[in-house]
Structure 1
Amino acid sequence: MSLAAEMQVNVRVPGGTLFEGAAARLNAVAENGAFGILPNHVDFVTALAPSVLLITQPDGTERIFGVDEGLLVKTGHTVDVAVRRGVESSDLATLRQTVREAFEAVEDDERVARSALSRLEADMVRRFAGLRQAPQP
Structure 2
Amino acid sequence: MSTASEMQVSLRLPSEVLFDGPATRLTGEAADGGFGILPNHVDFVTALVPSVLLVTQPDGRERIFGIDEGLLVKKGHRVELAVRRGVEGDDLDSLSDTVGDSFAGLEDEEKSARAALSRLEADMVRRFASLRKPHI
The TM-score, its normalising length taken from structure 2, stands at 0.90
CA distance in 2, matches of 1:67, 1:88: 9
Runs of 4 or more, structure 1, over 4 Å off, are none
| 1:9 equivalent in structure 2 | 9
**Unpaired stretches in structure 1, ≥5 consecutive residues:** none
Cα offset for 1:107? Answer: 0.3
Q: Which residue in the other structure is 2:38 paired with? A: 38
Q: How far does the alpha carbon of each residue in 1:79-99 deviate from its partner, in whole angstroms, 9 at most, with x for none?
A: 111222211111112111111
Displacement of 1:135 in angstroms is 3.2
One-letter code of the match for 1:88?
E
Q: Cα distance, 1:134 vs. partner?
A: 5.9
Say yes or no: does 1:124 pair with 2:124.
yes
1:74-133, CA deviations, whole angstroms, 9 ceiling, x for partnerless residues?
000111112222111111121111111011011001001001101110111122122222
1:43 Cα offset (Å): 0.5
Q: Number of matched residues?
A: 136
CA RMSD of aligned residues (A): 1.6
User: Which residue identity does 1:54 align to in structure 2?
Assistant: L
In structure 2, runs of 5+ residues without a counterpart are none
Matched, 1:23 2:23: yes
| Helix, strand or coil at the partner of 1:74 | strand
How far is the alpha carbon of 1:16 from its aligned partner? 2.6
Residue of structure 2 in register with 1:92 after alignment:
92
Is 2:70 the counterpart of 1:70? yes
Corresponding letter in the other structure for 1:128? F
- The aligned residue for residue 47 of structure 1 is 47
Hey, what's the Cα distance between the residues in 1 that align with 2:48 and 2:122? 37
> How far has the Cα of 1:34 moved from its partner?
1.8
SS class of match (1:2): coil
Q: Secondary structure at the match of 1:46?
A: strand
